């Protein structure tokens, strides 16, 4: 099957145009693949920088890695746990327990407070004053 136009100049333009279209299409597809791969590798690099940390460089402070940051959090959590559990007598929880024991010695029994839905009683001898402006 002969697909030539019979005009050699037109045939040459069509062949070169087809080849150019093929090269541009393949180049565009390759560009998209390279761009996608570079974005993935850049994101993976950011993740690894965050995971392992980065040293200080001019104008930028050092950033600790994930494991170092977790160690810092665990140390802080140990400190908080020590303060909120009864232990050696020096924790905040121990101090609160001692204060409650002393308060119980001073004021044994339940504390009488009005229920939240009842208004507090007015002191004797002072009349209730209506709100101003009505």
Name the token pair of 2: 């002969």
Whether this model's pTM surpasses 0.75:
no
Tell me the average pLDDT across 78-107: 88
Give, in order, the Cα–Cα distances in Å from 65 to each of 45, 47, 69, 70, 73: 13, 10, 6, 9, 12
CA pseudo-torsion sign 97, 99, 105, 109: negative
Quick check: 104 pLDDT over 90? no
Give the pLDDT of residue 133. Answer: 60
């Amino acid at each position: 099957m002969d697909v030539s136009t019979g005009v050699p100049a037109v045939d040459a333009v069509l062949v070169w145009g087809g080849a150019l279209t093929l090269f541009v299409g393949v180049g565009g597809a390759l560009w998209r693949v390279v761009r996608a791969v570079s974005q993935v590798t850049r994101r993976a690099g950011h993740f690894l920088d965050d995971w392992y940390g980065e040293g200080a460089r001019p104008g930028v402070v050092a950033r600790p890695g994930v494991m170092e940051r977790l160690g810092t959090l665990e140390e802080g959590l140990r400190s908080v746990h020590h303060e909120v559990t009864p232990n050696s007598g020096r924790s905040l929880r121990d101090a609160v327990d001692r204060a409650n024991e002393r308060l119980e010695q001073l004021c044994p029994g339940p504390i009488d407070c009005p229920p939240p839905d009842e208004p507090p009683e007015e002191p004797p001898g002072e009349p209730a004053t209506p709100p101003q402006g009505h």
